Amino acid sequence: MSESILSVGIDIGTTTTHMVLSRLSIDTISIFNRLPENSIAAREIVYQSPITFTPIVYEGENRLIDFEKISLVLEDFYKQAKIDKNEIESGALIVTGDSARTDNAQKVAQALAQAAGNFVVETAGPKLEGILAARGSGAVEESYRTGKTICNVDIGGGTSNLAFIEKGRIVETACLNLGGRLIQVEECQPDLFNTEQFKTVHCNRSGRILLQSLGLSASAPLSKTDLSKLASKAAALIAEYCRIGTGIGTGIGTGIGVKSEEEPSLLESLSETDVPSLAWLEKVDEYWFTGGVGTLMKSQDRPDTKSEKSSAVPFGDLGQMLARALLDLLDRKRARFDAAGIYATVIGAGLHTMQVSGSTIGIQSSQSILPLRNIRILKISAEPNNKGYLTAQVTKQLNFLDQLDDSEPLALYINDLGRDDISYRGIKNLAAEISNLLERLPKVAVKNALVIVLKEDIAMSLSQILKGMLRDKIILTIDGIDAQNGDFMDLGKTLGSAIDPNCLSIGVVIKTLLFYK
């Protein structure tokens, strides 16, 4: 049996906003002795919006997303697509780059998502943005398929986000606060020598730092040559940060190739995260470029566009100049531009798989917190011989989720349990790991509640052991569920059994973010 649903993906970035509508064909597969499973049989992009500037307003030093204008932008997208919002059955709204840092980002995202329907919302900080771009470009899938180590470099308006992928697994992320919109300008009166002059409309912190390093100021008019110097400086720093250029040095101190004593300190001051480790930089087989600047690099790399004359600042920023400067520095043999470009993002949360948990779930006063929506799933690989593995893995994953809302519920999906792990001793050891986790990372239990998800039929046994260990926590253990890292989950109310009132199940909806590839 097959059904069709409409899903939407909305990306609100530093510079631009866009939307993608997709129609998904969902097949229901019946498996002997198991509940039916849903899978995506086909996906069709039915509408791809034009790239629109993200409306930003300034209130003193505060940078805000203009809620009224962004609402109108999205309304216009729906009209162009000739789709009623009520027809949308699922979706994902992602706020990235400097837009994710605006004072009202989370509020705007939640309001837009609620107005649009049952959406997954991500306010992506630098680490998570790099992960989403790597998945959206297809780099993760390519690395898994070929075994190559790929660095996905997502260059947008405010940031350059790196994700290092080894054998299909993202092993490290990094973020440099440099992008195409570090300065916004508009043309003004030429000088006495009839030279083009530009006045600064807005300049972010990174832009001010680079201008100062070049002996320039945002308060004075800037020439086309000045802007070109600024773009070249930014490109050189990005190339050094990633080691993507030709003739890059061996690195001093930071593990990054540098050309002068000035650049290590500049790179450190502009890096939002720890700088990339030399161990991963030296392993990279290919660099994939995505984001707005990545798209400009792709278009300018074509032979038929190199000689074309165009405005120095067609978008009122450095995007075009930065793309050209980066192309001049690249080691072309390892560079790839044929990925999703600016559309390396989600196209929706289209796979909503309805599952029913096992009938021996563990509930500790959880009726008061059910139902729950949009619970973020962290997938954990069981390592029974490695004491403290649960705390270590959760800590690492939380480090990726740098914009995590303190009120956002979490679920730990513990998989790879072996035969010994589901014995009484194994379950007791797992309970000890969970207890240790909550002692070391109490924030994991949002409002004192934590959801533990398992595939194996041990939820009730685990719950009974945890009751004696964690009397002040609300722990919900459910089993019989299949999910992936990065999925979201809705939990309904408990479903009782007419035969045995002690046998309770929960309706579970797993939401999977969808990408172009």
Read out DSSP for 76-92?
Answer: HHHHHHT--GGG--EEE
Whole-angstrom distance, CA of residue 320 vs CA of residue 224: 12
Residues 164 and 288 in one domain: yes
The answer to the question of residue 350 being in a domain is no
Q: Find where tokens 């006063």 sit.
A: 365
The answer to the question of residue 377 being in a domain is yes
Task: For residue 166, give the H/E element and its range.
Answer: strand 160-166
pLDDT at res. 134:
87
pLDDT at res. 257:
37
Domain boundary residue, one of 343, 374, 407: 343
Whole-angstrom distance, CA of residue 30 vs CA of residue 3: 15
- CA 1 vs CA 26, 32, 43: distances in Å: 8, 16, 16
> For the whole model, what pTM was predicted?
0.73
The answer to the question of residue 32 being in a domain is yes
8 A C-beta contact, residue 360 and residue 497: no
Give start and end residues of each alpha helix (H) in 192-290: 205-213, 224-242, 262-270, 278-281
Tell me the two tokens of residue 159: 């940031």
Whole-angstrom distance, CA of residue 371 vs CA of residue 352: 16
Residues 133 and 85 in one domain: no
Whole-angstrom distance, CA of residue 447 vs CA of residue 453: 18
Residues 18 and 150 in one domain: no
The DSSP letter of residue 481 is -
pLDDT at res. 450:
84
SS3 15: coil
Residues 100 and 177 in one domain: no
Q: What is the CATH number of the domain that holds 119?
A: 3.30.420.40
The answer to the question of residue 471 being in a domain is yes
Whole-angstrom distance, CA of residue 400 vs CA of residue 125: 9
**Taking Cα atoms as reference points, which of 381, 174, 136 lies closest to residue 280?**
174
**Taking Cα atoms as reference points, which of 7, 6, 3 lies closest to residue 349?**
7
Residues 85 and 224 in one domain: no
Handedness of CA 82, 56, 182, 515 (dihedral sign): negative
**Taking Cα atoms as reference points, which of 50, 54, 94, 47 lies closest to residue 70?**
54
8 A C-beta contact, residue 296 and residue 310: no
8 A C-beta contact, residue 26 and residue 42: no
**Taking Cα atoms as reference points, which of 510, 502, 513, 515 lies closest to residue 453?**
510
pLDDT at res. 208:
95
Residues 6 or more apart whose CB falls under 8 angstroms from that of 460 comprise 360, 361, 362, 477
8 A C-beta contact, residue 20 and residue 348: yes
Residues 117 and 133 in one domain: no
How many independent structural domains does the chain possess? 3
**Taking Cα atoms as reference points, which of 16, 19, 21 lies closest to residue 97?**
16
Whole-angstrom distance, CA of residue 56 vs CA of residue 63: 7
pLDDT at res. 373:
78
pLDDT at res. 499:
45
Give start and end residues of each alpha helix (H) in 318-388: 319-329
8 A C-beta contact, residue 19 and residue 40: no
**Taking Cα atoms as reference points, which of 470, 459, 467 lies closest to residue 436?**
470
Residues 265 and 292 in one domain: yes
Residues 398 and 332 in one domain: no
The answer to the question of residue 348 being in a domain is no
Whole-angstrom distance, CA of residue 292 vs CA of residue 479: 42
Residues 383 and 471 in one domain: yes
Domain boundary residue, one of 343, 375, 406: 343
pLDDT by 10s per residue, the chain, length 517? 566 777 788 888 888 898 888 887 766 666 554 445 555 667 788 888 998 999 988 887 678 899 999 999 999 999 999 988 888 877 778 887 778 778 888 788 878 776 665 567 767 777 778 888 888 888 988 999 999 999 999 998 889 999 999 999 888 889 999 999 999 999 887 766 657 889 999 899 999 999 999 999 999 999 999 999 999 999 999 999 988 865 444 332 333 334 455 566 888 899 988 888 877 888 899 999 998 898 899 887 654 554 444 566 888 899 999 999 999 998 778 888 865 667 666 654 444 454 555 544 565 554 466 777 788 889 888 888 888 899 999 988 887 776 566 667 888 999 888 888 889 899 999 999 999 998 888 878 777 778 888 888 888 888 888 888 887 778 888 888 877 777 888 877 665 544 444 556 666 777 776 665 5
The answer to the question of residue 40 being in a domain is yes
Residues 394 and 461 in one domain: yes
SS3 108: helix
Whole-angstrom distance, CA of residue 184 vs CA of residue 318: 8
pLDDT at res. 348:
46
The answer to the question of residue 352 being in a domain is no
The answer to the question of residue 349 being in a domain is no
- The burial of 439, by beta-carbon neighbours within 10 Å (0-12 exposed, 13-18 middle, 19 or more buried), is given as exposed
Q: What is the CATH number of the domain that holds 180?
A: 3.30.420
What's the order of all strands across the beta sheet hosting 449-454? 346-356, 505-515, 488-495, 372-381, 410-415, 449-454, 474-478, 362-363
Domain boundary residue, one of 124, 156, 190: 124
Range of the structural domain that residue 313 is part of: 128-343
Residues 178 and 270 in one domain: yes
Residues 180 and 118 in one domain: no
